[in-house]
Structure 1
Amino acid sequence: MAISPDYRTYQGARVAQTQAVLDAGLRAYMLRVYNWMASGLVLTGFVAYAIASYPPLNNAFYPLQETAQGLRHVAGPLAWIAMISPLAFVLVLSFGVNKLSTRTVQALYWAFCVAMGASLTSIFLRYTGESVVRVFFITAATFGAMSLYGYTTKSDLTKMGSFLMMGLFGIILAGLVNMFVHSSGLQFAISIIGVLVFVGLTAYDTQRIKADYVQFSYSEGSEMAARRSVYDALQLLLNFINLFMLLLQLTGNRSSNN
């Protein structure tokens, strides 16, 4: 049976309409993800700055102790707890995002941001405020460019995934080794490779988030969309923070007091 031109036109219009709805939903979803990420970044920065600038809290996390280089802030028990606790929140969210309620996922995300902020307090002790601000804007520009690339490129970045994860595990292991050997050369190499890894992960994760939305077609206002948007924001936030810290290690100006 021949298919009439009118029917083909109707089918084409239906496909175009469906694609337009999908595109609009994707843009709204990505905007939600970026809003969660930006809000989390603001909270993280506020907590870090508040602890660093309020002496009683600052001394509770990093008490002054006499060292070979003179009186210096050193990490106390609270600082070590703050540095370890973000990992616990990430693990809970990673394994429980599809099982936990939306409110629980959101609460865990805010708790992660507070813990991460507390763990980043030391950057205001180690680096000058000017260099922290400068590196932040460099990171924001780099992150924005790579995330835009990941969203718009037609290239399939999934092939990069396994390579980037190998690089990530490699710098984690190298970082653990360097905690004992204290090699400045190894630390420099870790920072350079780490920047490349997290620049790549930013583009990769953005494309993955886009592909997941298209594959699973999260309904606007659904519980799944609400939970996944928070989790996806967490992935991008982790990329941003790690990229910021690595660039700060490479280009930040050290404070004369620490």
Structure 2
Amino acid sequence: MSESVRYSPSGVTDRDRTRTLFAQTMQYVAGTAGLFAIGAYLGRGLPGVLGLLAFLAAFACLIGMGFAARRSTEATVGLLGGFGLLIGLAVAPTLVRYANADPQALWQAGGATALFIAGFGAAGYATKRDLSVLGRVGTWALIGLLGFGVVLIFVQIPNGALVYAILGLVIYAGLTAYDFQRLRGSSDTDSAPLLAASIFLDVLNVFLFFLQLFSGRSDG
């Protein structure tokens, strides 16, 4: 039996809205990635203190998006763009260090990230199984991973950085699948900027974890 399709008074189906949401979200992700690249280029020589301030400002943009989403889509999109630029500035010194140590690792991490996001994103978008549990468990797992990262700063654990990166990729495999399923399960186009922020964060963190693996910095 074919799947029923609901029509609005304007004749637009929920399926049409979902496709529009997917397209808009991916456009926002691409735009945020472009602004991230600009920020990373401009912040190549940024001092560590300014990088930290840029990170805090980027985090403030994310928080602001949650409030702006209830009032203005334009403001939400603007904050998303600001987040992309600022997080690019914040991450720039880290990317420069990796590039100086092993430039090839950047390309390897980029390629691996593209395959990772495409694979787990497609799986999440296609499956009919409810993945909301992955979102809840993944959020708590990230908190635990952050705690483990703090421990690594003060305690020398054999292959600790390697374990940290692999655990991070496992967690983001679930979160990526969940975020892409949210795209299919919604027809509210106003949610596109917030979904784009979530997916961009998936991409960025997966890239950084792969960068750590391919650069050889996980030997400690």
With structure 1 as the length reference, what TM-score do the two structures score? 0.74
1:42 aligned partner: 34
Distance 1:48 1:89 in 2: 17
2:50 aligned partner: 78
Q: For the Cα contact (< 8 Å) 2:98–2:215, is it kept in 1?
A: no
1:7 aligned partner: none
1:104 aligned partner: 75
2:88 aligned partner: 117
Q: Does 1:146 align with 2:120?
A: yes
Distance 1:191 1:116 in 2: 20
Once the two structures are superposed, residues 41-71 of structure 1 have per-residue CA deviations (whole angstroms, 9 ceiling, x without a partner) of 121022212332xxxxx1xx23xxxxxxxxx
Distance 2:150 2:64 in 1: 23
1:195 aligned partner: 169
Distance 1:245 1:80 in 2: 17
1:198: Cα distance to partner?
0.7
1:126 aligned partner: 98
Once the two structures are superposed, residues 115-166 of structure 1 have per-residue CA deviations (whole angstroms, 9 ceiling, x without a partner) of 1101111212223332212211210111011111111112221222222122
Distance 1:107 1:161 in 2: 26
1:178 aligned partner: 152
Specify whether residues 84 and 186 from structure 1 end up closer, same or farther in structure 2 by C-alpha distance, changes over 3 A only: farther
Specify whether residues 176 and 91 from structure 1 end up closer, same or farther in structure 2 by C-alpha distance, changes over 3 A only: farther
> Match of 2:43, SS?
helix
With structure 2 as the length reference, what TM-score do the two structures score? 0.85
1:177: Cα distance to partner?
2.7
Once the two structures are superposed, residues 211-239 of structure 1 have per-residue CA deviations (whole angstroms, 9 ceiling, x without a partner) of 233xxxx3xxxxxx24x111110000001
1:204: Cα distance to partner?
0.7
Alpha-carbon RMSD across the aligned residues, in angstroms, is 2.4
Distance 1:183 1:118 in 2: 31
1:180: Cα distance to partner?
3.2
Superposition pairs for residues 173-252 of structure 1, below 5 Å?
Answer: 173-181=147-155, 183=157, 185-213=159-187, 218=188, 225-226=189-190, 228-252=191-215
1:66 aligned partner: none
Distance 1:246 1:137 in 2: 13
1:31: Cα distance to partner?
0.9
Residue ranges of structure 2 left out of the alignment (5+ in a row): none
> Match of 2:129, SS?
coil
Residue ranges of structure 1 left out of the alignment (5+ in a row): 1-11, 53-57, 63-74, 219-224
1:182: Cα distance to partner?
5.5
Quick check: 232-241 or 184-193, which moved more?
Answer: 184-193
1:69 aligned partner: none
Question: Between the two proteins, what is the percent identity of the paired residues?
Answer: 22
Distance 2:39 2:156 in 1: 29
> Match of 1:188, SS?
helix
